[in-house]
Structure 1
Amino acid sequence: MNPAIDTRLVRRLVDGQFPHWADLRLRPVERSGSDHVIHRLGDDLAVRLPRHDGAIGQSEKEYEWLPRLAPGLPLAVPVPVAVGRPGEGYPWPWAVARWLPGEVATVAAFGESAAAAAALAGFLRALQALPVDGAPAGRAPLEARNDVTRARIAEVAGVFDAAALTRVWDEALSAPGWDRPPVWFHGDFHTGNLLSAGGRISAVIDFGGLGAGDPARDMTMAFTLLGAGPRRVFRAALGVDDATWARGRGWALATGLNAYTSYAAIDDRVAAQTSRQITQAVL
């Protein structure tokens, strides 16, 4: 059972473990995502508590790796400043990081932006160029999602074109695998993990899926944010081969189906976002 998290709990955790921040104002951040509850701490910090056991470990991973990677990246990323311990009835490690200003990027603002597509490709190029010595392996491969993805295709057959979804999934699984040295990937590179400020993409957040290996999973961004024209700009700027693109389309489909079947019935915003993601993945 997932823990109940409210501002009173977060206050007790902060005050008990980091008393030098006890005087800073604490307030919840609305729409903080399905993995973490986020509170703003003062003007410059954010407190992030995992909602469920699938998000355990992100605090330590980001604390270890993001300070090393950040100097080589062209967009801002979270800078962790502390990792909290379980306590006050809360069972898992949690994190305090520098607050990143901005709003969550939207399709309305950036879906047809070639400049945004180029900026995102530039971020991935820079990330993939960084040394991977000691990097975490990341999540399970695409093939591990086969059974559940086919089950979800059957589940949504009344809403989407199941034959088209199956075709995309089959093409993804039959595409040749990554046969080059491992590179860094974000692992959850989609619209909800982008911030914008001043009319441009300004930051990438939520590195819980960070690892090294096949970068195909980061192609998901092309299907969650970008329209057809900017998607071509993104692919060309990143130099993505056909096999990696097919696997990336598979990742977009699998993750879109996962979110749609899990949350669309209870969240209209998620329903709209994931419906678009699934539809774009089969165009």
Structure 2
Amino acid sequence: MTAQPVINTQLVTRLVAEQFPQWAGLAIKPVKLNGWDNRTFHLGSDMTVRLPSAERYAVKVPIEQKWLPKLAPSLSFPIPKPLAMGQPSCDYPWNWSVYRWIEGDTADILDECHLRQFARDCARFLKELHQINTSEGPLAGPHNFYRGGSLKVYDEETNAAIHKLKGLIDTEAVAASWKQAISSEWVKEPVWVHGDFSVGNIIVKDRKLAAVIDFGGMGIGDPACDLVLAWTFLTPESRGIFKSHMEMDNETWNRARGWALWKALITLASLEDMESSDASQQKRVISSVLSEGL
């Protein structure tokens, strides 16, 4: 088993100097908000270095490097632009990336009054993504945690979480909603999916959608996994706008609710403090999903 490398400014400085000496003199510092799957650093004023934190995330690097430049011309909103792919070294065992920096804030700064336009813009981005040719695109699988694939992969895990949460949530209603979610499959041609279309990966400027980042979960398949924003962030009003602009069939929305439930349930079941802010957030997502009924 590969030991987890210590990813810090010193490591990034060495990697850049060794592999991209043209950038060796640029300042390197961690970004303010870092992710779990990758560690990201500013490189100069207009670039970022992005290093996977574990082997299971590293397999995504070549996929992003190959496909992001092919997707970008068909999208109205910017997405990450790969500038170079780093190679494994004696200090770091996996491929890594240099990207153009995208300025802005994550979408969780938005107030309710901005969500109507945000919902329209999110729908526009996803619909454009769905129109892009999928020839030779990566199918859902372990590399992207089956985003775009069948929800049934997570049936055992979800039912275990439901059982563990008995008495804390309406497990009967949740089980019924989950059963409905896994009762259908995407039968149309596969479409591109972002894989983690969440507020932390949506960049806004002047309170409007400005870019979408972190395509580590990208692939082709069922778009339902990209619709969970409807319950994890949007209000009932903006959710209605999002749904009307997406123009998806009811079964796809059922599966989307399933994706939202799966993540909320397993996250909630893993928490020790059921009164924490994280627990409250997951309970809100579950309640939001159930509020639409079956």
TM-score (norm 2): 0.88
Identity of paired residues, percent? 38
CA distance in 2, matches of 1:200, 1:116: 6
CA change 1:272–1:89 in 2 (3 A) is farther
- AA aligned opposite 2:12: V
Residue matched to 2:251: 243
Residue matched to 2:195: 187
Once the two structures are superposed, residues 177-214 of structure 1 have per-residue CA deviations (whole angstroms, 9 ceiling, x without a partner) of 11111111111111111111111111111111111111
Give the conservation status (yes or no) of the 8 Å contact 1:59–1:95: yes
Q: Secondary structure of the residue that 2:17 maps to in structure 1?
A: helix
Query: Is 2:279 aligned against 1:277?
Result: no
> Which aligned pairs between 1:149-168 and structure 2 lie closer than 5 A?
149-168=158-177
Task: Using the TM superposition, name which of 3-12 and 251-260 deviates more.
Answer: 251-260
CA change 1:8–1:196 in 2 (3 A) is same
CA change 1:110–1:186 in 2 (3 A) is farther
Task: Using the TM superposition, name which of 253-262 and 95-104 deviates more.
Answer: 253-262
Give the conservation status (yes or no) of the 8 Å contact 2:36–2:53: yes
TM-score (norm 1): 0.92
Q: Which of 46, 49, 52 is residue 48 of structure 2 equivalent to?
A: 46
Residue matched to 2:115: 113
CA change 1:190–1:180 in 2 (3 A) is same
Residue matched to 1:177: 185
> Which aligned pairs between 1:74-223 and structure 2 lie closer than 5 A?
74-106=76-108, 108-109=110-111, 113-139=115-141, 140=146, 141-174=150-183, 176-223=184-231
- AA aligned opposite 1:25: A
Q: How many residues align?
A: 281
Give the conservation status (yes or no) of the 8 Å contact 1:85–1:92: yes
- Structure 2, unmatched stretches of 5+, are none
How far residue 54 of structure 1 moved from its aligned partner, in angstroms, is 2.6
Q: Secondary structure of the residue that 1:54 maps to in structure 2?
A: helix
What RMSD, in angstroms, separates the aligned Cα atoms of the two structures? Answer: 2.1
- Structure 1, unmatched stretches of 5+, are none
CA distance in 2, matches of 1:144, 1:280: 23
CA distance in 2, matches of 1:178, 1:147: 20
Once the two structures are superposed, residues 104-130 of structure 1 have per-residue CA deviations (whole angstroms, 9 ceiling, x without a partner) of 111753586111111000001100011
